[in-house]
């Protein structure tokens, strides 16, 4: 009797709509037989005969210098390999080479993972490595992301095949159990928009890193998340030895987004007196100074202004009025310095310096404490849920691959109640003030033009290295945390960019808004109930299949702007899908037939211009702030493949 291992099939990873994000495949390592004694079963030569021709043909498929291949083929060996570029070949590359019928060119196959969307959400989905089990078979093991966190469930259990003489039967005790399928909370459409926007931000700022995440405010579901730099899990291009998932690893000093936590503590403790005043600029604590950003001294300010303008001195005063012990208790109540327990491996807890009075004050405005974006999301969820903090999560469900039965379903988990409902509402009101005030640091994030009230807080955090803070805006972490809408919140979004070397806009928050606005509006459009101003909301009809003129008139009748990509024929696609909610005045891009021509960009926002450029596959160069004022290409000019369009923006007076 003999037994052999039957490997389990690894489960799939899917997005919330069932789109496959990680699947099983096969890769091939190529080698060449040079031993002239080798023949096939039919007696034909089974070694490389025409070495120059073989090198040239393989070169044309794999894009390798034919001379490199040729030099290996003329070596004095019985068998040769060709280096990393001939390993992990795809099924398509393998088939192309096999069709050439080249004698002596051989392949070893091994199981692999295939990621259809390449870099999209790669830090969330993760990565597998191939290794050899005790039976000498190649197996896959998750090493990053969900692939690692849910590796046991995805892997399943190998079975045993028992051979009894001439009969072969499967042992009932050891039947193979294939891996289970894991469905994530990610929305592929929102994820694609976020990825595109982050590509533009990262390239434009030349930052060291950047990340963005969008979470459903009421459930804790992460519906989109990405970071830069990222990596391609198919090729491992971009993957470094020091790789970190910026969502729950690589903790950092958050800066002024922490002031909202201090504000909440002060309101809850009866220590928030928004109309009281203090002297901004500097504040001495036991001979050590708290300084407002950039050394600004704006004179006498109210504490409400301290929050809206993000004054460090104001919040140091608030921490002093709370007392170190009380303030420290709120850091615990909001679950900082504790892992969130979300569905990703190697989560960090963060750290704090709290021994000295100056450190205690510093933590009130986001210095001397290190947190993760996941912890910030969890803390801010309390403001969106009447004081109840909820846990962010990524795994929506797990199903048995063979039966389809759901073995696990993700659910909203309440973490704690750090503040009261009334405190949460007052915090949101103050966050809305940061957006609405003329001198508010988050005024760039206003969506009042499309009927939504945004509640937000910006952050500019210094980076500490070797015990000292680095100088200059190019050595800061710039961020924003937004809750939308203020009333009955639907989404929480966090964006951060670390050490941008280029500032493409007058204010880095304008640059971050070019990520925030299109992603948030798309999410709100998909969530029709989110609109605060329901009288300004319309349901977008499905105009696909209609004539261009008919579709345009139908949208205009509802108060929407219709902009076509193409000049004739029927509509094949629309930027806002049918039955989704939109706001009157919002642009709906329509894909038709015929030439794409340059539209009149006058009064468009940067987000709208970037949307058009993305859909038209045209390079856009944007300068200034506000609304589109001038454009380099005349209206009606046919778009060409090498065209660059410059658009200048100007603030309205």
Q: Are strands 464-465 and 455-462 parallel, antiparallel or unpaired?
A: unpaired
Give yes or no for residue 363 having a pLDDT over 60: yes
H or E stretch at 610: helix 606-616
Give yes or no for residue 575 having a pLDDT over 90: no
pLDDT the model gives residue 131: 79
Question: What are the start-end ranges of the E strands in 137-195?
Answer: 138-144, 159-164, 167-170, 181-184
- Give the residue among 9, 10, 11, 3 at the shortest CA–CA distance from 173: 3
* pLDDT digits 0-9 by tens, 526-541: 776 454 444 466 888 9
- Mean pLDDT over 183-210 rounds to 94
- Return the active site residues: 256
* pLDDT digits 0-9 by tens, 499-556: 999 998 889 999 999 999 999 999 998 776 454 444 466 888 999 999 999 999 999 9
pLDDT the model gives residue 529: 47
> Within 13 Å of residue 526, how many CA atoms lie on the same side as its CB?
14
Who has greater pLDDT, 71 or 250?
71
Q: Are 246 and 410 in contact (CB under 8 A)?
A: no
Q: Quick one: pLDDT band at residue 91, thresholds 50, 70, 90? A: confident
pLDDT the model gives residue 70: 95
Question: What are the start-end ranges of the E strands in 328-405?
Answer: 351-352, 369-370, 389-390, 395-399
Q: Are 111 and 26 in contact (CB under 8 A)?
A: yes
Distance CA 326, CA 105 (A): 72
Give the three-state DSSP class for 42: coil
Domains contained in the chain, CATH given: 2-179 (3.30.70.2110), 188-530 (3.40.710.10), 534-650 (3.30.10.20)
pLDDT the model gives residue 242: 66
pLDDT the model gives residue 18: 92
* pLDDT digits 0-9 by tens, 411-456: 999 999 999 999 999 999 999 999 999 899 999 999 988 889 999 9
Q: Are 104 and 33 in contact (CB under 8 A)?
A: yes
- Mean pLDDT over 145-167 rounds to 81
- Mean pLDDT over 325-336 rounds to 98
Lowest mean pLDDT among 101-105, 159-163, 222-226: 159-163
Q: Quick one: pLDDT band at residue 605, thresholds 50, 70, 90? A: confident
Give yes or no for residue 165 having a pLDDT over 60: no
Q: Are 547 and 523 in contact (CB under 8 A)?
A: no
H or E stretch at 625: none
Distance CA 622, CA 362 (A): 38
Distance CA 247, CA 371 (A): 10
Percent of the chain with pLDDT over 70: 94
> Within 13 Å of residue 596, how many CA atoms lie on the same side as its CB?
18
Provide the mean pLDDT of the chain.
Answer: 91
Give yes or no for residue 170 having a pLDDT over 70: no
Q: What is the dihedral of CA 502, 506, 512, 514, to 10 degrees?
A: -110
DSSP codes joined into one string, 528-577: GGG-S-GGGEEEPP--TTSBHHHHHHHHHHTT-EEEEESSEEEEEEESS-
Print the SS3 string covering 91-148.
HHHHHHHHCCCCCCEEEEEEEEEECCCCCCCHHHHCEEEEEECCCCCEEEEEEEHHHH
* DSSP letter, residue 261: H
Distance CA 492, CA 222 (A): 10
pLDDT the model gives residue 236: 86
Give yes or no for residue 173 having a pLDDT over 60: no
pLDDT the model gives residue 160: 74
Q: Quick one: pLDDT band at residue 294, thresholds 50, 70, 90? A: low
Lowest mean pLDDT among 188-202, 236-250, 414-428: 236-250
């Amino acid at each position: 009797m003999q037994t052999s291992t039957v490997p389990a099939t690894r489960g799939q990873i899917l997005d919330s709509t069932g789109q496959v994000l990680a699947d099983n495949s096969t890769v091939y390592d190529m080698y060449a037989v040079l031993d002239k004694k080798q023949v096939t079963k039919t007696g034909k030569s089974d070694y490389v005969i025409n070495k120059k021709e073989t090198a040239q043909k393989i070169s044309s498929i794999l894009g390798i210098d034919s001379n490199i291949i040729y030099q290996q083929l003329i070596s004095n060996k019985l068998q040769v390999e060709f280096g990393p570029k001939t390993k992990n070949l795809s099924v398509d590359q393998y088939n192309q080479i096999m069709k050439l019928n080249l004698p002596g060119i051989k392949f070893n196959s091994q199981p692999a993972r295939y990621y259809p969307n390449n870099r999209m959400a790669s830090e969330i989905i993760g990565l597998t490595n191939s290794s050899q089990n005790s039976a000498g078979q190649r197996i896959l093991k998750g090493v990053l992301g969900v692939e690692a966190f849910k590796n046991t469930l995805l892997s399943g259990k190998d079975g045993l095949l028992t051979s009894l003489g001439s009969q072969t039967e499967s042992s009932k005790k050891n039947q193979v159990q294939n891996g289970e399928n894991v469905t994530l909370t990610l929305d592929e459409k929102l994820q694609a928009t976020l990825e595109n926007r982050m590509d533009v931000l990262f390239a434009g700022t030349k930052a060291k890193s950047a990340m963005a995440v969008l979470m459903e405010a009421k459930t804790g579901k992460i519906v989109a998340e990405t970071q830069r730099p990222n990596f391609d899990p198919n090729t491992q291009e971009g993957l470094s030895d020091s790789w970190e998932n910026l969502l729950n690893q690589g903790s950092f000093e958050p800066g002024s987004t922490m002031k909202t936590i201090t504000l909440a503590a002060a309101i809850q403790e009866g220590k928030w007196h928004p109309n009281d005043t203090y002297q901004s600029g500097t504040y001495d604590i036991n001979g050590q100074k708290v300084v407002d950003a950039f050394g600004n001294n704006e004179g006498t300010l109210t504490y409400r202004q301290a929050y809206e303008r993000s004054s460090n001195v104001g919040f140091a005063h608030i921490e002093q009025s709370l007392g170190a012990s009380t303030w420290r208790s709120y850091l615990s109540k909001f679950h900082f310095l504790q892992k969130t327990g979300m569905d990703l491996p190697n989560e960090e807890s963060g750290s704090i310096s709290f021994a000295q009075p100056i450190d205690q004050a510093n933590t009130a405005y986001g210095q001397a404490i290190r947190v993760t974006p996941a912890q910030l999301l969890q803390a801010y969820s309390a403001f969106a849920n009447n004081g109840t903090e909820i846990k962010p999560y990524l795994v929506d469900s797990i199903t048995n691959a063979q039966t389809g039965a759901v073995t696990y379903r993700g659910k909203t988990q309440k973490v704690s109640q750090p503040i009261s409902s009334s405190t949460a509402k007052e915090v949101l009101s103050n966050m809305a003030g940061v957006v609405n005030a003329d001198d508010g640091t988050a005024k760039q994030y206003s969506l009042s033009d499309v009927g939504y009230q945004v509640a937000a807080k910006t952050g500019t955090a210094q980076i500490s290295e070797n015990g000292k803070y680095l100088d200059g805006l190019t050595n800061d972490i710039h961020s924003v945390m937004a809750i939308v809408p203020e009333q009955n919140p639907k989404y929480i979004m966090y964006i951060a960019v670390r050490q941008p070397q280029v500032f493409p806009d007058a204010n880095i928050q304008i640059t971050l808004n070019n990520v925030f606005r299109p992603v948030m509006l798309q999410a709100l459009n998909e969530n029709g109930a989110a609109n605060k101003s329901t009288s300004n909301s319309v349901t977008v009809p499905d105009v696909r299949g209609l004539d261009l003129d008919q579709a345009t008139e139908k949208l205009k009748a509802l108060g929407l702007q219709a902009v076509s990509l193409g000049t004739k024929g029927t509509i094949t696609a629309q930027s806002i899908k049918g039955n989704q909610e939109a706001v009157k005045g919002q642009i709906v891009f329509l894909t038709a037939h015929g030439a794409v021509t340059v539209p009149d960009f006058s009064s468009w926002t940067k987000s709208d211009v970037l949307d058009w450029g993305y859909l038209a596959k045209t390079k856009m160069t944007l300068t200034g702030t506000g609304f589109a004022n001038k454009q380099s290409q005349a209206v009606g000019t046919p778009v060409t493949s090498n065209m660059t369009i410059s658009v200048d923006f100007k603030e309205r007076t």
